[in-house]
Copies of this chain bind each other. A is one copy, B any other.
Amino acid sequence: MMAQVLDGKALAKDVKDELKTKIQNWVNLGHRAPSLRCIIVGDDPASHTYVRNKIAAAKYVGIDAETIKYDVNMSEVALIEAINALNADDEVDGILVQLPVPQSMDERKVCNTVAPEKDVDGFHIINVGQLSLDMPTIVPATALAVIEMLKRFKIETFGRDAVVVGRSKNVGMPIAMMLHSDKKHDSGLGMDATVTICHRYTPKEKLDFYCRNADIIVTATGIPSLIKADMVKPGATVIDVGITRVTDEVGNTKLVGDVDYEEVKKIAGAITPVPGGVGPMTVAMLMHNTFQAAQNLRDKNLQ
């Protein structure tokens, strides 16, 4: 029995097609198209690729999206002014600052400058607070992608054991928070799993212990082949958020996740591939967040 492969690419297509229809309906009701502004500072090639993918997805679903490029030598003050101008612009629904920003800038300050209701990355401290209190909010897209995949592939979480490997504040932490969300709370998420958070100081034998006990393993470390077949309970769901470029003996490069995919898929009940798993769904959920921001802005202006 091989694991069900959770095809994030196909699911992302479904999610984007649904969004496209919803946005078309929204526009047909007389609203302008949702709009997204992606700020990128500097020349990092990977960052430019990410932003291009986001813009392409936005155009596909009917979001008016633009990239705003700045020189790597831009000052933090100038960036903050630029963000504030977008905050004040009623024609802009979603704002995203591609990370990392240049080292001369305070990343946290930049994230907190984006108006919380336009913060489609969910990195503003108020959105983090709302998420942590299990309130309705904008959730970081990668974390939301994982949760949406669990929901759409009907992976049961209620009363189940989940392990999150990696405690980063943009990925592991929000995933763990949502996995143990309480159905009584306002977000309505209510996943009700028992959750263990492992990290680089979890001893190897303890990581094995928690993973072997888990019904759901979510890994987000960037360490290739960290999760091996003998660490996975037969039938468990394995969600791989890691993405690392590796070079083989003959110099070819490829993208791999944190999971020893070929071996683990013989044991797991369901598994996400890398590439083609969480990655495409992350971009789709960013579009979901942008449409949500557009609706929030409309609601705010109606009050």
**Could you tell me which A residues sit within 8 Å of B by CB distance?**
108, 125-135, 158-159, 161, 167, 169, 173, 176-177, 180, 182, 192, 194-199, 201-203, 206, 209-210, 213
Contacts and interface: CB of A to CB of B under 8 A. Distances in A.
Contact of A194 (B135, B192, B202): B202
Contacts of A195: 196-197
A133 B169 CA distance: 6
Contacts of A133: 108, 125, 128, 169
A206 B125 CA distance: 34
A199 B169 CA distance: 22
Contacts of A108: 133, 135
5 contacts: A133-B169, A194-B198, A194-B201, A194-B206, A209-B213
Contact of A197 (B131, B158, B159, B180): B180
A167 B108 CA distance: 27
A267 B7 CA distance: 49
B125 A130 contact: yes
A74 B135 CA distance: 26
Given A128-B132, A128-B133, A199 B192 contact: yes
* Identical chains bound together, number: 2
A159 B203 contact: yes
Contact of A158 (B125, B134, B192, B201): B201
Contacts of A202: 159, 194
Contacts of A197: 176, 180, 194-196
A203 to B, nearest CB: 6
Given A133-B128, A192-B201, A180 B206 contact: no
Contacts of A128: 129, 132-133
A237 B221 CA distance: 30
A218 B31 CA distance: 51
B209 A169 contact: no
A161 B30 CA distance: 55
A129 B158 CA distance: 26
A134 B196 contact: no
Given A125-B126, A133-B169, A194-B196, 15 more contacts: A108-B133, A126-B126, A128-B132, A128-B133, A129-B130, A132-B169, A132-B173, A134-B169, A158-B201, A176-B197, A182-B199, A192-B199, A194-B198, A194-B206, A196-B210
Contacts of A194: 196-199, 201-202, 206, 210
A186 to B, nearest CB: 8
Nearest to A127: B129
Nearest to A168: B182
Nearest to A137: B125
Given A125-B133, A129-B132, A180 B161 contact: no
Contact of A126 (B129, B169, B199): B129
A144 B209 CA distance: 29
